[in-house]
Amino acid sequence: MTRVHNFSAGPATMPVEVLQELSDELVEHGTSGQSVIEMSHRSPEYEAIHTETLDLLRSLWAIPDGFEILLLQGGATLQFAMVPMNLAPEGTKAGYINSGVWAAKALEDAHRVADAYQAWGNSGEGLARMPQASEVGVEPGTAYLHVTSNETIGGVRMVDFDGFDVPLVGDMSSDMLGRPINWDRFDLVYGGAQKNLGPSGLTLVVARSDVLDRADQKVPNYLRYSFHSKANSLANTPPTFSVWAVNKVLKWIGSKGGVQAMEQRAIERSNMVYELIDSSNGFYVNPVEPAYRSHMNIVLQPSDPSLTNELITEADDAGLINLKGHRSVGGVRVSIYNGMPNDGVEAVVEFLSSFAQKRG
Ligand SMILES: *Cc1c(COP(=O)(O)O)cnc(C)c1O
């Protein structure tokens, strides 16, 4: 089999070593006589995987003792509602940095269940960017300020989380375990596993222990963080396959030098693509202010947009798939998450450069 280079924004490329291991071990886990995906989630074998996954997450991402890690389902999308239902009870407000498509969706759901407001908005004029803390209008009574650390569709990244005097909640779907973060700033971070961590089906929530029990009584059990935290994320059947696969990806991240190494690698690899864009004499353009360019999702467009479809078709034929930008913005998007091998990055840079030479 020839593996393609898959630049999908999620579900996304996983390390082939991990896929191979999953395949080798799928039919029988150890000497248990059964597959991980058949066994009871109450069995000692599964519990060992579950606990080890939590331990790996804590050590790799340097999650401090005062935080709990929850392994949930429903994707980042369910967190758009769970976060305000749990963290912004009646009498408080929730502020949102509206930095792009994902932030807007988070704010839309927050409006349904809490007293939410936009604390800063991307005007849509000029190059896309994130705000400075001083530009964000935090209202009195705000329980948390929601940030999207990496806008997966717009290709815009928050550089740091400093300068805010309210606790932050971060949607880190597309850069969790791709960068170290300063946990002091956060009450909670969340994201779906299917970008940087493995297959879909698992949602990671890391929350400060003392915010877990803030939801009022009318919030149903499954939607309460405290319900899951009291049961060590085993209140109901967890997504056992995804937890097992993420466990293996975490070990792989550790073997490559951990989160710091992932970040360094992401900087170098995204720079290869940005350098190509910037040295293309205007053949390619990127719509983001350089300081805020994503390390994970690089958006670009031939300045002659009629070339976009051709580019994507030629790339497909060359085994470079899923380079089409999100349907809401068009253009080209190169998603380079932790699991993408260096070969893939080199191949896409070479392809884009030769396409520009041929058509430029
Ligand atoms: C992918 C993504 C989501 C949606 O994630 P699901 O797990 O599909 O619900 C939300 N926010 C960001 C920033 C994303 O990249």
Does the structural domain 16-255 have CATH classification 3.30.1490.20? no
Instruction: Tell which atom from ligand 1 comes closest to the C-alpha of 172.
Output: 13
Instruction: Measure the CA–CA gap between 96 and 170, rounded to whole angstroms.
Output: 10
> How many angstroms from the chain centroid is the CA of residue 342?
20
To test the pocket of ligand 1, the residue of 78, 82, 102, 179 to mutate (highest count of ligand atoms within 8 Å of its CB) is 102
Whose Cα sits closest to atom 2 in ligand 1?
A: 173
Arithmetic mean of pLDDT over the chain: 97
Query: Residue with the nearest Cα to atom 14 of ligand 1?
Result: 173
User: What pLDDT, on a 0 to 100 scale, did the predictor assign at position 27?
Assistant: 98
In whole angstroms, give the CA distance from residue 348 to residue 353: 8
Range(s) for CATH 3.40.640.10 in the chain? 16-255
pLDDT of residue 153: 96
Percent of the chain with pLDDT over 70: 100
CATH architecture of 258-359: Alpha-Beta Complex (3.90)
Q: Kindly report which listed range (6-15, 123-132, 270-279) carries the lowest average pLDDT score.
A: 123-132
Flag whether pLDDT at 197 surpasses 90. Answer: yes
- Which atom of ligand 1 sits closest to the CA of residue 153? 15
Radius of gyration (C-alpha) of the chain in whole angstroms: 21
Above 90 in pLDDT, residue 97? yes
Helix axes 44-60, 240-255, angle to 10 degrees: 40
The single residue listed with the structure tokens 């759901």 is: 109
pLDDT in tens, 205-245: 999 999 999 998 999 999 999 999 999 999 999 999 999 99
What is the CA(334)–ligand 1 centre distance, in A? 16
pLDDT tens digit sequence for 122-132? 887 889 999 99
Residue nearest to atom 7 of ligand 1 (CA): 75
Residue 234 vs residues 38, 73, 125, 179, 243: alpha-carbon distances, Å: 16, 12, 46, 28, 12
CA–CA distances in Å: residue 195 to residues 26, 53, 250, 355: 22, 17, 13, 27
pLDDT mean over 49-65: 98
State in Å: Cα 44 to ligand 1 middle: 32
In the chain, CATH 3.90.1150.10 covers: 258-359
Atom of ligand 1 nearest to the CA of 74: 9
- According to the model, what pLDDT value does residue 123 have? 81
As a whole number, mean pLDDT of residues 15-34 equals: 97
Atom of ligand 1 nearest to the CA of 151: 13
Identity of the residue numbered 308: T
CA of 101 to the centre of ligand 1 (A): 10
pLDDT digit string, tens, across residues 126-164: 899 999 999 999 999 999 999 999 999 999 999 999 999
Task: State the catalytic residues.
Answer: 102, 171, 195
Question: If you take atom 10 of ligand 1, which residue's CA is the nearest one?
Answer: 76
Q: State yes or no: pLDDT of 316 exceeds 90.
A: yes
Whether the ω angle into residue 15 lies within 30 degrees of 0, i.e. cis, is no
Burial 183-218 (b: 16+ CB within 10 A, else e): bebbbbbbbbbbbbbbbbbbbbbbbbeebbebbeee
Q: What is the pLDDT of residue 245?
A: 98
Strands 156-157 and 284-285: unpaired
Question: What is the Cα–Cα distance from 307 to 285, expressed in whole angstroms?
Answer: 13
Nearest-CA residue for ligand 1 atom 5 is 76
Residues touching ligand 1 (Cβ under 6 Å) are 10, 75-77, 102, 148, 152, 171, 173-174, 192
